[in-house]
Amino acid sequence: MTAPRGGAQRIPRPVAWRPGRPAPWAEVPAAARILALTDLERMLQARGPGRMRADNWRPNATTRQSAVLVPLYEADGELHVVLTRRSSNLRSHTSEVSFPGGRSDEGESPLATALREANEEIGLDHHLVRPIGELDLFVTVGGASLVHPVVAALPGRPDLVPAPDEVAHILHVPVAELLADGVFREEIWPIFDRERPITFFELYGDTVWGATAAMLRQLLSLAVGLEDDGLAY
């Protein structure tokens, strides 16, 4: 029996939220949502390094540098992305779905951080990882963290082992599922002094939301030929 869409992740939804816009790719024909890794790589390389967007939170003196790895691979003719469900024993972001990643050590590059964290969290061998581009820089609420999303290609479905103290489950999600009708959802939340679009992807048994969902949104928008306008969170 297939699990229902959506998971047990705790969503700190404010009272004054309202529904947002449809998926950016809602008007893109289904046939145009079939993506190849080579096409995505070409698009990312043409776009260049990640940018600091005007609609983002601003970094400040206490902002932490961090990075995540966005691992992609093809299997059985389908493009997949690797995500993790965080352990329920962690002190923050408990059970949330995220990319492998974390805080940078002093002097460490975003790529080095992403590779180190992916190896620690899911046992991904860095020799299998081929960086193919970057998404835009992402500043979390109030400027707490500046996240560098590093997009990478893998040669196939990797053999991964979750670190039990950090990762409860590893998800191999077909990109076609993320682009399917009814999976994407946007809500508008009042956060501090402005309204912010909050992105959700309702998977079978899990809800991806917040920063990770916003990064996925940009990746998928760019992949189908759209310029994303909803990365801010």
- Distance CA(170)–CA(156), nearest Å, equals 15
Q: Cα-flanking dihedrals φ and ψ of residue 7, to 5°?
A: -125, -170
Q: What is the pTM of this model?
A: 0.92
Give me the sign of the Cα torsion angle 99, 110, 92, 221: negative
Helices 37-47 and 210-223, packing angle to 10 deg: 100
Query: Structural domain boundaries of the chain?
Result: 18-223
Identify which of 24, 169, 177 has the alpha carbon closest to the alpha carbon of residue 98.
169
Q: CATH: 3.90.1150.10, 1.10.3720.10, 3.90.79.10, 2.40.50.100. Which one for 18-223? A: 3.90.79.10
| Per-residue pLDDT, 132 | 98
| Per-residue pLDDT, 233 | 43
Decide if 167 contacts 122 (C-beta within 8 A): yes
| Per-residue pLDDT, 7 | 81
Q: pLDDT tens per residue, the chain (233 residues)?
A: 566 788 878 888 999 999 999 999 999 998 888 889 999 999 999 988 888 776 666 777 778 899 999 999 999 999 999 999 987 675 555 668 999 999 999 999 999 999 999 999 999 999 999 999 999 998 887 667 889 999 999 999 999 999 999 899 999 999 999 999 999 999 999 988 788 899 999 999 999 999 999 999 999 998 898 876 555 44
Decide if 206 contacts 135 (C-beta within 8 A): no
| Per-residue pLDDT, 142 | 64
